[in-house]
Amino acid sequence: MPPDLGQWLNTPGAQYVEPWSPFDNVDYVGVCWVSAWLVHTDEGSVLIDTLYGPFRQTLIDNIASTGTDLADIRYVLMTHGHFDHVGGAATLEPLLPNATFVMTQGGWDEALESAAASQGTPRAWEMIEPDMVVADGDEITLGENSFTVVETPGHTWGTASYVYDVRDGDDTYRAITIGGLGLNAIEGPTQVEAYIESVDRVRSLVEMRNMGIDVHLTTHGFSNNLDEDRQLLAARAPGEPNVLVDPEGLLAQIEYLRGRAVERLEQERGE
Ligand SMILES: [Zn+2]
């Protein structure tokens, strides 16, 4: 890890990304290294993940710059209990009068535990009390869209992914935001096994085409060249395909994540 990585991760200037629209009903309102997605419906908007610390105001400014009224945000779907995804919830809660904050029970538990453990450290953060608890297979419907919860334990035990519709012109695709990608919070072989099972489950959802998932709107842009895709989309000519509609790329990423996890499992088992 470069010595200045911690500083880079926490410097708003270095992390700023102007909000952009990968799909007609979606705005990217995150920063460079961690995502926040704003999905619009005809009955309000859904925010996926909340950023943290130095980026809480960035998120609020980014949402405003998309022309979205904070009062129109109806749900905040959170992927898991790590600070970079839920650290902004305590700031957002009083600003979003009509929003329900959503996570798995495991996600709420790990977030509260992690926030409590951070007290007295230089990067202390607060977590809101649990609001709505979701479980695998639950669907949250807002307007014409529906958000399906797919529990994908592994990155943390409480990690969830969300599957929802994205629109590009006349075409509608199913997108997934995979809740956790890294193996940085692994506490033993059982957790890696769960991670592999989750990766396989997501792969079957994509491969079997039973959910028709063609798009990955990631929680961390560096995991699948999101910034490159942003630039390609900005230069997209009329009639050209949307580079983010890429089921083969998603399957390749899943294969990569799985391979890494299998290696890690061998290490964890001491093989
Ligand atoms: Zn995480």
Using the mean position of ligand 1's atoms as its centre, give its distance from the Cα of residue 52 in Å.
Answer: 12
pTM of the model: 0.95
The domains of the chain, with CATH numbers, are: 17-268 (3.60.15.10)
The strand ranges marked E within 49-203 are 73-77, 100-104, 132-134, 139-142, 145-151, 160-168, 171-177
Using the mean position of ligand 1's atoms as its centre, give its distance from the Cα of residue 197 in Å.
Answer: 18
pLDDT tens for the chain, residues 1 to 271: 445 777 888 888 889 999 999 999 999 999 999 999 999 999 999 999 999 999 999 999 999 999 999 999 999 999 999 999 999 999 999 999 999 999 999 999 999 999 999 999 999 999 999 999 999 999 999 999 999 999 999 999 999 999 999 999 999 999 999 998 899 999 999 999 999 999 999 999 998 766 789 999 999 998 889 999 999 999 999 999 999 999 999 999 999 999 999 999 999 998 6
Residues with CB under 5 A from ligand 1 (ion): 82
Using the mean position of ligand 1's atoms as its centre, give its distance from the Cα of residue 151 in Å.
Answer: 14
67: left (phi over 0), alpha (psi -120 to 50) or beta: left
DSSP assignment letter at 94: G
Using the mean position of ligand 1's atoms as its centre, give its distance from the Cα of residue 121 in Å.
Answer: 19
Position of tokens 């509608």?
172
Measured distance CA(99)–CA(93) in Å, rounded:
8
Using the mean position of ligand 1's atoms as its centre, give its distance from the Cα of residue 46 in Å.
Answer: 20
Measured distance CA(143)–CA(174) in Å, rounded:
16
Using the mean position of ligand 1's atoms as its centre, give its distance from the Cα of residue 79 in Å.
Answer: 8
- What is the Cβ-side half-sphere exposure of residue 120, based on CA atoms within 13 angstroms? 2
Q: How far is CA 236 from CA 90, 113, 242, 247, in A?
A: 38, 44, 8, 19
